[in-house]
Amino acid sequence: MTTLSPATATAAATVAPSLPLRRLDSPIGRIELVGNGVAVVSLTIERGGVLPHDEQEEHSDAVLDRAATQLSEYFAGTRTSFDVPIALSGTDFQRSVWARLAQLKFGEVISYGDLGLFTGRASAGRAVGGAVGANPVPILVPCHRVLAANSRITGYSGGNGIPTKVWLLDHEGIGHRG
């Protein structure tokens, strides 16, 4: 299981040259990992062929190398869980949603409504959706495993949106409706 911890540093709009940065190719496009020296703080799936820090050179570290290896294994179908440290920066509500998502096992889904119940805010559908969409480390914290109560895909903020989510769900054998 991925280790969640409060963020000690966040990825800024521009990654400082001293902050670890690593990219890798995947079936859903290039992925960019940013760290803070002890944990992964950001994972971005390219959108339209672009990553946030494309203009910067990679400067990896052991944590990002481990994350890249585990992601490659996940995409190859040989890994079903992650155990890299991550540091999440967000509101208490967002962190509670992400903590529940991090508990989901490979191929397991949860509805937006059940996430709301978990947080004690059963009627907070928009807030839950916003927290899911603001997840700074998709895949590692599996926000793609959130579906509407009728198994319908309602959106995805990573990569190229719904097609990226469909690929991830299909990869895990999760049934869904378009």
Q: Which amino acid is at 87?
A: A
Identify the bridge partners of residue 12 per DSSP, sorted by sequence position.
none
**How many residues are given for the chain?**
178
| Catalytic (active site) residue 124 | no
Task: Please report, for residues 13, 81, 136, the alpha-carbon distance to residue 172 in angstroms, rounded to integers and kept in the order given.
Answer: 32, 11, 21
Catalytic residue among 15, 143, 147, 153: 143
User: How far apart are alpha carbons 33 and 51 in whole angstroms?
Assistant: 10
Rounded Cα gap, residues 169 and 164, in angstroms: 9
Mind telling me the catalytic residues? Answer: 143
